[in-house]
Amino acid sequence: MRSSPDCPALPLTRSCATWSWTVVAACVGLIACVTACEKDFRSCEAGLCPSGTSCNTATGLCEAPTGPRPDPVGLFGRISLVQLSDGKLGVAGLAPAHQSLAFLSGQAAEWQTTFVAGPAAAAEAPSSGHVSAAVVGPDGVVHLAWARATDASLWYASGGPSGWHTEAVAAATAGTVGDEVAVGLWQGRPVVAWRAGAAPWVRVARRQADGNWAGENVPSPPPPVGDAPQEAELGSSLTMAILPSGPALAYHDDTHGDLVLAVNAPQGWSVSRIAGSDPTTGADTGDVGRPVATAVGQQGGLAVAYLDRTRGQVWVARSSAGLLTHQVVADGGFDDPSSGARRVALLGTALSVVVLPSDRVAVAMLDASRLRLRVAVEKVSGGFVLYDVPGTRPQLWPSLLVPTAGGLKLGYVELDAPRGPAASAVSVWSVPVGGTP
């Protein structure tokens, strides 16, 4: 939003934002004065509007084109942004108009759509794809996992835009799969994790060389110090990262409000509470870890981004030399100009985290009070720089990606509320991470 009347209306046209990025750099050079203007305005007129939107120089806002969108296949709900072997982007998620799991490839506004599961993929197939996850292997193969709500079953697909091989994950008994799914590759083979509908809540299955799935239950964490053992409900938020030693799962203990980390190694699972209760006294320190997101850096370090609902803060925990250190990424506090009071936005109910090649972390988070996305990029000197994702429409479901060519991309869903969920569209924004000190 344009905040200063001193910012001139620059002679940029909508097409500026659609130029190639080399041309965008030239655009940036033309508008030195905009550094004095507010972020959205600067991003807009610097040509940093998300793909699929363009800069309205009259308002300084990145706006989606009016009228029908070029691609009617919008996604709605959590998405997974991946990089394909040809350098293009891929996005997996639910296409609500088709009640099917869709995979978009290409780039925003010019997405090519294939349907992986659901009625759009196979006639008579039940609705699929409300919860999905995606990962790309070094061979360029895309691996997808999703829960099918109609029969609470778990499914897996591999392939890409040219075709998909789909199979049920037999290790996950149909009727028991809940609403959290994660997928990763361990030693080249798919690993899926999911939340079951009953204890044992968190389960993992690995695809064997013969194509069969071997399942195992992840042990429950010990109760908080001083608490009597009890069967806790686990995994209302669940995420997986692949460490050199094996899969690592981070999930929420719904009973105690704690964040749990389960790390697999050849000797078995190590499961512990890493936030939400005092490790020494067991005292409750808040409802922490719902949601949670994980990523692994090139050096193998783990980053766990999570919401502390009690304090209204987004945190990140990072492993270093076997120790976890926690730091605040952002809080929801903001000054309400109408009252002069400090409000706390509901921040971080959707999260995504990546570790940059420089070993700094970036966390994308949803401001669920204003339906805006923010990306926090760690500074070399510590602390975070916050970037507001430009745009005027409600933004949801962030998914960060570090492209092989460098930089940082944020995929997300932009709502077109008057037209309904089916009109939601995937946008991709290049986070100006290079400017982060």
418 forms part of the interface with another protein (CB under 8 A): yes
Q: Residue 86 in contact with residue 405, Cβ under 8 Å?
A: no
420 forms part of the interface with another protein (CB under 8 A): yes
Residues 111 and 89: their CA atoms lie apart, in Å, by 9
In terms of CB distance, is 222 or 420 closer to another protein?
420
| Of positions 284, 359, 388, 430, contacts another protein by CB under 8 A | 284
The first and second tokens of residue 23, run together, are 């041309």
In terms of CB distance, is 376 or 413 closer to another protein?
413
In terms of CB distance, is 150 or 298 closer to another protein?
150
The first and second tokens of residue 387, run together, are 């970037």
282 forms part of the interface with another protein (CB under 8 A): no
Window 63-102: residues binding another protein (CB under 8 A): 76-78
| Of positions 397, 401, 402, 432, contacts another protein by CB under 8 A | 397
150 forms part of the interface with another protein (CB under 8 A): no
In terms of CB distance, is 41 or 397 closer to another protein?
397
Q: How far is the CB of 77 from another protein (least distance, A)?
A: 4
Candidates 105-113, 139-147, 293-301, 305-313 — which segment interacts with another protein by CB under 8 A?
305-313
In terms of CB distance, is 106 or 394 closer to another protein?
394
| Of positions 209, 342, 381, 437, contacts another protein by CB under 8 A | 342
Q: Binding pattern to another protein, positions 356-395, x when CB under 8 A?
A: ----------x-xxxx----------------------x-
175 conformational bin, left if phi > 0, alpha if psi -120 to 50, beta if neither: left
148 forms part of the interface with another protein (CB under 8 A): no
In terms of CB distance, is 9 or 225 closer to another protein?
225
In terms of CB distance, is 184 or 348 closer to another protein?
348
257 forms part of the interface with another protein (CB under 8 A): yes
Contact set with another protein (CB under 8 A): 76-78, 130-131, 179, 254-257, 284, 286-287, 310-312, 333, 336, 339-344, 346, 349-350, 366, 368-371, 394, 396-397, 413, 415, 417-418, 420-421
